[in-house]
Amino acid sequence: MPVVVKNAFPIVLDLASKDAALAARLDDALARPFAVALLDDERVLVRLEVASYLDLSRYAAALAEMEPDVPWRAAVLDRRARAYEATGSSLAPVARKELAEFLETEPPPFAPEAGPEAAPAKNSGR
């Protein structure tokens, strides 16, 4: 059974991305844990992604289930701060602080975009 449920998650995400009304119904279904907490970590992450297709209040509700251990990624932290601000959550200051902390400590890109100034010097043949 876990394999069937796990294989359904990509389909859920695809459907949610195409139909907001269906995304809302899927979010409602994913808001409740499965029997015996089956694939609970995956369910919570998929719910968060489904909620990203909906309004900020749905996103905030999906995040609440994860607090204080939300995914430490820029896009999630940014939307979290906006969602909590929009919904008047008491977690808004924490979300803003953690987003700022993440952005301050984020490493530079591995390979900066190459422009003319980044081109290697030509070998003069000497």
Domain that holds residue 80: 70-104
Task: Using the predicted structure, report yes or no on whether residue 117 has a pLDDT greater than 90.
Answer: no
Q: Is 0.85 topped by the overall pTM?
A: no
Answer yes or no: is 41 within a domain: yes
For residues 48 and 88, state if they share a domain: no
Residue 117 belongs to a domain: no
81 shares a domain with 48: no
Three-state SS for 11-80 is: HHHHHHHHCHHHHHHHHHHHCCCCHHHCCHHHHHHHHHHHHCCCCHHHHHHHHHCCCCCCCCCHHHHHHH
Domain count, the chain: 2
- Is the domain of 50 the same as that of 76? no
Is 62 a member of any domain?
no
The one-character DSSP state at 110 is S
pLDDT in tens, 29-71: 999 888 877 888 899 999 999 999 999 999 999 999 999 999 9
44 domain residue, yes or no: yes
